[in-house]
Amino acid sequence: MTTDNHKRLFEISLAIARKVLPFLGQHQIPATPENYMIFYLYFEGDLHLVRRVVDAQLNTGRPWTAETTSQVFGQLFSAEANIDMRRNNERLAQSLRQTADFIVARSCQTAELADSASRELCKTIEAAQRLGEADEAGRWLRQALLQVQEVNQASSRLGGELVDKSQELEKAVQSLDRLETMALTDELTKLANRRAWDSRLRVEFNRFLRFGRPCSVIMLDIDDFKAINDRFGHLVGDQALIQVARLCQQGLRAVDFLARFGGEEFVCLLPETSLDGAYVLAERLRASLAAWAFTAAGQRARLTASFGVSCFRPDDERPEQVVERADKNMYRAKALGKNLVCGEEPLGPSQACLN
């Protein structure tokens, strides 16, 4: 790298730093290396994903804590679906590369044309000065006009082509955003899907190991869902799944994470929530579902769900272990009669299942 390149890189970094440091102070964000890296990328402006994730946190209005840093850092720098999607979508990546190559090539062509025209102008000017003849001056003016017109036409063409390519580039970026959303969203319920769940579970498990803050999981399965499909048809069953997703979402906090685990199973991730708190929330969700009724084929019907609750433990070696315990407790609720919330200690055997 040349001295000029080093100087330019330093000036760019300094300009971004002058934005980052006052911003951290203004928003009372700790000036840690992790936060500096996050907001350096934020103000650098090249990564749409960084802006979307950071803005989502800033718009909550909550203080930026170490947990916030860990969550944002995990979303941006772990091997998660959003970044994987950008790397792995070869078709759109190729489109972006072709667009960039086109812009560079056309810019070079115009620059070469302008340089060539400039050299020719210099030659004719020198010749006119030497000869001082009227005919030579007239020829020079005509030649200069033609060269100026040629450069102007090339610039106009480039401008129009760049506008077209910028529109194509914008469409490609929008397509990436849609594909990212599709890759992480359940098509029917519009909740997070299993892939998004696995990614978020890893982030919260790593935070638990680092900070020791409580985090619980609720797993629920609609009781006798096959009977609903058999009785009313799969379209009604799909609408029931959508409604269950909506009712659960309404009963959760903004910080909680709800996903469709598969079939008629849903999972909730509850940061900063103890096992006792998870029991209370699960019972509230259970009651909400049991109180809801729907009409199909002129008949009034209800549905219920069985719930299993668990939380991260210090001796957990894998994030999936909490899901396995919640799943086991959920099937225990079904075995005990369904429409129940079941869990584990520390509530004790007499309170292990609630209804």
Q: Is 63 exposed, middle or buried, given 0-12, 13-18 or 19+ CB atoms closer than 10 A?
A: exposed
- Write down the residue that tokens 């069985």 correspond to: 306
Amino acid 263: pLDDT? 93
Cβ partners under 8 Å of residue 123, min gap 6:
none
- pLDDT under 50: residue ranges of the chain: 1, 79-89, 346-352
Looking at residue 80, what is its pLDDT? 46
Tens of pLDDT, residue by residue over 242-269, are 999 999 999 999 999 999 999 999 999 9
Quote the pLDDT of residue 351: 42
The first and second tokens of residue 178, run together, are 């849609």
Cβ contacts of 192 within 8 Å, gap of 6 or more: 184, 185, 186, 200, 257, 258, 259, 260
Q: Which residues, including other chains, have CB under 8 Å from residue 183's CB and lie 6 or more apart?
A: 81, 85, 195
Query: How far is 322 from 316, CA to CA, in rounded Å?
Result: 8
In this prediction the pTM is: 0.54
Q: Residue 42 in contact with residue 34, Cβ under 8 Å? A: no
The pLDDT score that the predictor gives to residue 66 is 86
At position 116, the amino acid (one-letter code) is S
C-beta atoms surrounding 235 within 10 Å: 10
Active site residue 317: no
- Pull the structure tokens for residue 26: 């203004």
Catalytic residue among 180, 204, 264, 344: 264
Q: CA of 150: how far to CAs of 61, 103, 108, 157, 164, in Å?
A: 56, 19, 15, 11, 21
Predicted confidence at residue 84, as pLDDT, reads: 46
194-354 fold: Alpha-Beta Plaits (3.30.70)
d(CA 125, CA 102): 34
pLDDT for residue 79: 44
- Distances in Å between the Cα of 168 and the Cα atoms of 89, 96, 246 are 17, 9, 36
